[in-house]
Structure 1
């Protein structure tokens, strides 16, 4: 059976096609929680159940969005991506820019994994340069040589589902096993700097990064990162289309539409009505249902103000103004 027919057969099998994505998401969330707690056996038992139900083809490749491809592989052939040699030519300038950053958080990098979904120890910072054709000027101005090199890669900066970011992993970080949300992309790691004790596993294969070199993988396969060294590991991540997609144009259109769905899903999951970025942070307005829930909770407990700062809870009670 060819790959397209196999996907169609699975979609028409035990699980209705319209429910497949929703069920994959729930399965993957549970599997990742178990893997993050070190419960590998139960996690893979659940993954095998999902495979038996036709949601995935194998336990180590678990995307939410599953597209037909002519071939499935954890790592792609290096020759399929011309721009890896281009990035290597620019490596000295890219590295010099990275070496000029002492603290990624102060430089404007965001902290990844704050929801605890994958980062189970250490610190992981990211700086997004391009996303689906949109250039992020502040980030590109911070790293002009890197931005110049990346701008010459239309597959990542112009094509519909291209994506580029700098990933900065601090020593002591563990990114627990997880799978990317779609098999539509090929993820290239171009190593700017690394430590011999930083490693990645994709599928059942483990690798170390080499400075100035690249490898490309399908991040819908389960992957995990350990950094047991002493110096940061910094890679330039470049997402381009999976070269084995049977209908790439259709996938690009669907991924563009999913961008709005992604934002809607975030707002809905967080129960937010409005979010505004300010100079000092963000202003958040809960949706009416959450606002009423919070109001009722505080009124029944006579709370005027409550603040959680780290592990410390500060409460000011309404009426008498007492606090604890």
Structure 2
């Protein structure tokens, strides 16, 4: 049985900036076209879906989630090592300008293993068993440890595409779980350690951690099971997103964060 001592993660850090649309760079024409076509693509994918188009899925609806649940303590051990110094883990608002409208500065941090099929080789090497388990997730799009420190609130928002669904594996959940929860449409959900929660993030949702403990989940985005039309349309749309500024800025942001940390650590 793994050590159940809560991960020792500092409360954080750089919390002076509130989420704001004003912090998001001006959207280029190609991304504005993407936003126009997005709901039309989502309707086609929804009609082609081989699973119900619902906000939250019953536990066990996707067989592969059992693999993560059976190995959650191994994943938790790797998360504990990777996240032992939270200052080394970039805030999402820092690396991804497009998340600044919803991400409280310094309080929502993301340790990426895979992002839109781009592997972070350094982080994958640090979490080899987790990476191996993720390779068995059908249609894996992204995977990262999502960290919310105490007092964090992520306002209501919607995701990018119905081409994928989102799974949260509870890694560390505050003891007062009713103070740390997520709303999807009209349903409030609480995480459980070692248990997967699957939902469609295109539905309106928000997150709050009003407890005095840090919440950590392994967030996994995977392709929705669809028919031929949904597969073609969804794949083309996701490939466009993968190549877009939205994703490329985040990749560059991770590298800038690492470069800055390396410079700070270098002797003068």
User: What TM-score comes out, normalization by structure 1 length?
Assistant: 0.58
Q: Which residue of 1 aligns with 2:128?
A: 144
Matched, 1:119 2:100: no
Q: 1:169-224 CA distances to partner (integer Å, 9 max, x unpaired)?
A: 11110001000021211100111111112100011111100000011111001110
User: What TM-score comes out, normalization by structure 2 length?
Assistant: 0.69
Q: Is the 8 A contact 1:88 1:213 kept in 2?
A: yes
Q: Is the 8 A contact 2:59 2:197 kept in 1?
A: yes
Q: Is the 8 A contact 2:241 2:247 kept in 1?
A: no
Q: Which residue of 2 aligns with 1:213?
A: 195
Q: Which residue of 2 aligns with 1:72?
A: 53
Equivalent of 1:198, from 174, 180, 188?
180
Equivalent of 1:255, from 203, 228, 238?
238
Change (3 A) 1:219 1:93: same
Matched, 1:98 2:79: yes
Matched, 1:110 2:86: no
Whole-Å Cα distance in 2 between the matches of residues 276 and 163 of structure 1? 15
Higher Cα radius of gyration:
1
Greater relative contact order (Cα 8 A, min sep 6): structure 1 or 2?
A: 2
CA shift, 1:142, in A, is: 1.9
Whole-Å Cα distance in 2 between the matches of residues 198 and 221 of structure 1? 19
CA shift, 1:104, in A, is: 2.5
Change (3 A) 1:217 1:244: farther
The 3-state SS of whatever aligns with 1:239 is: strand
Whole-Å Cα distance in 1 between the matches of residues 181 and 226 of structure 2? 26
Whole-Å Cα distance in 2 between the matches of residues 24 and 232 of structure 1? 35
Q: Which runs of 5+ in 2 are unaligned?
A: 1-28, 262-268
The 3-state SS of whatever aligns with 1:113 is: helix
Q: Is the 8 A contact 1:105 1:125 kept in 2?
A: no
Matched, 1:171 2:153: no
What is the alpha-carbon root mean square deviation over aligned residues? 3.2
Q: Is the 8 A contact 1:121 1:173 kept in 2?
A: no
Q: 1:18-37 CA distances to partner (integer Å, 9 max, x unpaired)?
A: x9x848949xxxxxxxxxxx
Whole-Å Cα distance in 2 between the matches of residues 265 and 118 of structure 1? 16
Q: Which runs of 5+ in 1 are unaligned?
A: 1-18, 27-54, 56-61, 157-161, 268-273, 283-324
Change (3 A) 1:121 1:276: closer
CA shift, 1:133, in A, is: 3.5
CA shift, 1:75, in A, is: 0.9
Q: Which is worse superposed, 133-142 or 118-127? A: 118-127
Change (3 A) 1:232 1:277: closer
Whole-Å Cα distance in 2 between the matches of residues 265 and 92 of structure 1? 30
Change (3 A) 1:23 1:140: closer
Matched, 1:188 2:164: no
Q: Displaced runs of 4+ in structure 1, greater than 6 A?
A: 264-267
Whole-Å Cα distance in 2 between the matches of residues 77 and 237 of structure 1? 17
Judging by fraction of residues, say which structure has more strand: 1
CA shift, 1:89, in A, is: 1.2
Q: 1:107-133 CA distances to partner (integer Å, 9 max, x unpaired)?
A: xx2211345310247601101112343
Aligned length: 215
The 3-state SS of whatever aligns with 1:86 is: helix
Q: Which residue of 1 aligns with 2:119?
A: 135
